């Protein structure tokens, strides 16, 4: 999970991550982003794993127990008593 100040910076980070993980034989998949330009910058061979987030208010994405709400750009946590 990451962010950037500009679309160009986000694409640069994305490319760096792809290259770094490929050196270890790991293919990053299931990309999520609120900006279509970042998803469209993915290499064509990863097209099957692309997903553009719906910007519905209640929509969240969960990764490693952390929820991200793209509309408000907030991270949420569930606490069980």
Does the residue 1 lie in any domain? Answer: no
User: What pLDDT is stored for residue 31 in this prediction?
Assistant: 79
Tally of structural domains, the chain: 1
Residue 25 included in any domain: yes
Residue 47: give the domain boundaries.
7-76
pLDDT at 24 over 90: yes
Q: What is the pLDDT of residue 74?
A: 80
5-14, 43-52, 63-72: least confident range: 43-52
Flag whether 49 is in a domain.
Answer: yes
Query: Helix H segments across the chain?
Result: 7-23, 36-40
pLDDT digits (tens, 9 = 90+) for 44-64: 766 444 455 444 446 777 777
Residue 16 has pLDDT above 80, yes or no: yes
Of 31, 32, 39, 48, residue with least CA distance to 7: 39
Q: What is the pLDDT of residue 13?
A: 93
Bridge partners of 76, per DSSP, are: 67
Residue 38, both tokens: 């970042």
The whole-number average pLDDT for the span 60-69 is 79
2 domain-assigned: no
Cα 14-16-17 angle, rounded to 5 deg: 65
């Amino acid at each position: 999970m990451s962010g950037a100040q500009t679309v160009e910076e986000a694409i640069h980070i994305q490319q760096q991550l792809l290259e770094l993980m490929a050196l270890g034989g790991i293919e990053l998949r299931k990309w999520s982003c609120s900006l279509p330009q970042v998803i469209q910058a993915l290499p064509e061979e990863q097209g099957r794993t692309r997903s553009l987030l719906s910007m519905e208010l209640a929509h969240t994405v969960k990764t490693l127990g952390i929820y991200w709400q793209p509309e408000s750009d907030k991270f949420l946590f569930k606490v069980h008593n």
